[in-house]
Structure 1
Amino acid sequence: MPERTDLPLAVSAMLLAQLSINGGAALGKSLFPLVGPEGVAALRTGIAGLILLGLARPWRAWPSVGQMRWLVPYGLALGGMNLLIYWAFARIPIGIAVAIEITGPLSVVLAMSRNGRDLLWFALAATGVALLVPWPGRSSALDPLGVAFALGAAACWACYILFGKRAAQVPSLTAVSVGMMFGCLLTVPLGVAEEGARLLDPDILMLGLTVALLSSALPYALEMRALAGLDSRLFGTISSAAPATAVLAGWVFLGEALRPVSILGIGCVIAACAGASLTSGAPLARPRENLAS
């Protein structure tokens, strides 16, 4: 068990990590008028990929053919998740997109559970998503395609976890650097095709670097600090607050105010994720391009 004196610092680090992730998401969305969601996805993954390759230098011990069988789809899932979530951000509020996206890892945890009471969390999450979906005839400003992109990001997140488990025999930094390389094969060509040389503008590159640091490096360092003072259940429970911090970031930085029914739906998803984390002990942390692991 963690020391009680470490607990406030660990919780604070986790909350700061969540604010950093979603602040990075808000900054990324604010760049859409300049380089579009494809450009932001290309910048984030491309810059993170270069940093990872420099740190890991995977060519010194390149994975075997058998390991690559899982690393390639692992990387494509990571690239697809980045691209789809930015497409979702372009059409629906960040808080709603993140709430839908987090159902991906939640589905993996619940599918692997042997505990019948976890059906309650599944039902609660399904209720939350149902409240967020713009059903025909319902008065809602949500874009159906944006919801579909968020669901696609959730599916990619689930695949990321499943393929990542298969590739677990590869050192984690090597695995994520090689995986990111294949993810960039999906995101960077699309970004270049849509935005071209604008991605090389120094100001745009600096903003892209900031997005990558806020969404990846800084929260990872904070979560490593938090893990020293939190057990996995509490870590997962706090991680489940990601949609709430996304709502806060969207409101503060982008002026995205949500309807009461959307807030209720997000609350159901948060409760389902927290409940699943408490009963299973499996954290639902957002995957990112870990810069040291």
Structure 2
Amino acid sequence: MKSKVNIPPITAVLLSIISVQCGAAIAKGLFPQIGAAATASLRIGLSAVILLIAFRPNPFKLNAKQWKYVTLYGVCLGVMNMIFYMAIARIPVGLGVTLEFVGPLALAIFGSKKAIDFIWVILAAAGIILITPWTGTGLNITGILLALLAGVFWASYIILGGRISKIMNGGDAVAIGMVFATLVILPFGIWGGGLSILTPKLLGLGAALALLSSAIPFTLEMKALKQIPARTFSILMSLEPAMASFAALIFLQEYLTLKECFAVAFVVIASAGSALTAKRAKL
């Protein structure tokens, strides 16, 4: 069944962020049991099944251009998620989310055309700098590099999502893209052995993870990308590190320091400013 719900683009992005962070709490519980690769495979694979049932896309109606972009979109989606899960298996989730955001932030900087956009970018960057644990020992350099690489694919995902949303239905694009994403990461999940020890409980958690971390947010993001510029979308996504901190507080009882509270404030102001600028531009 095709979705008829009309969600404003700014609201869609915010709901997407909340959904992803709720899913992250579930993923944290699956990591020790089946590993990062199997968790990523379970998340993307079940998301593909859910979205195919929900949207029932007809692949035979796609033209060559649509096939090209939906394939690139799906591969990018799969690689991005796999690399990010590999990163947070080595470093804290909050740090991973923060470093991954370097990709969308760079996209926002390079895509800016109005002076006011740089104010929001600077504020978002200040928040990221504050929330990143620059001091301390034991940080895994491989995890840090993987998180930064995931950021590159995140920026690519934003660009591809913006383009594909203009040439085909968003739900169909996400559903078919998820199939290609599954084909990319499933071999890693099988090779890691985590998928061979699944229980009904773990499968249920995987289904919830698929809905919250992939099926719901990616569909919402596709709707948003069809109505707002990639630059505005990127700045709005600066809420990710802040929401990750709030999720840690709610689900893991990890309290924020004063410095981290300032970081959250900067990011929220940047996101709100971006939303106001986008609204004003349409008036």
Normalised by the length of structure 2, the TM-score is 0.75
Alpha carbons of structure 1 residues 266 and 150: separation in structure 2 relative to 1, 3 Å: farther
Matching residue of 1:198: 196
Pair 1:188 & 2:218 matched? no
- 1:62-77 superposed matches below 5 A: 62-77=61-76
Alpha carbons of structure 1 residues 262 and 86: separation in structure 2 relative to 1, 3 Å: farther
1-side partners of 2:60 and 2:279: how far apart?
33
Q: Say which SS state the counterpart of residue 43 (structure 2) adopts.
A: helix
Which residue of 188, 196, 208 corresponds with 2:206? 208
Q: Say which SS state the counterpart of residue 187 (structure 2) adopts.
A: helix
On the 8 A contact 1:105/1:158 being kept in 2, the answer is yes
Give ranges in structure 1 of 5+ residues lacking alignment.
Answer: 1-9, 283-293
Which residue of 140, 144, 154 corresponds with 1:143? 140
Matching residue of 2:156: 159
- 1:110-259 superposed matches below 5 A: 110-131=109-130, 138-139=135-136, 142-167=139-164, 168-198=166-196, 200-217=198-215, 240-257=238-255
TM superposition shift of 1:218: 5.6
TM superposition shift of 1:280: 4.1
Matching residue of 1:32: 31
On the 8 A contact 2:81/2:150 being kept in 1, the answer is yes
Alpha carbons of structure 1 residues 95 and 63: separation in structure 2 relative to 1, 3 Å: same
1-side partners of 2:47 and 2:23: how far apart?
13
On the 8 A contact 2:34/2:194 being kept in 1, the answer is no
CA deviation profile, 1:236-285 (whole Å, cap 9, x unmatched): 78765332221122233235456655555555444444433433459xxx
2-side partners of 1:52 and 1:189: how far apart?
21
Q: CA RMSD in A?
A: 3.6
Counterpart AA for 1:85: F
CA deviation profile, 1:86-136 (whole Å, cap 9, x unmatched): 22322333333333334433433443221123333334444444445565x
Alpha carbons of structure 1 residues 270 and 115: separation in structure 2 relative to 1, 3 Å: same
CA deviation profile, 1:178-236 (whole Å, cap 9, x unmatched): 21111112221111111254354322211100111222456689x69xx9xxx979x97
Q: Say which SS state the counterpart of residue 184 (structure 1) adopts.
A: helix
- How many aligned residue pairs are there? 263
Counterpart AA for 2:106: S
Counterpart AA for 1:179: G
2-side partners of 1:279 and 1:232: how far apart?
11
Normalised by the length of structure 1, the TM-score is 0.73
On the 8 A contact 1:134/1:142 being kept in 2, the answer is no
Matching residue of 2:41: 42
TM superposition shift of 1:71: 1.7
Alpha carbons of structure 1 residues 162 and 152: separation in structure 2 relative to 1, 3 Å: same
Counterpart AA for 2:160: F
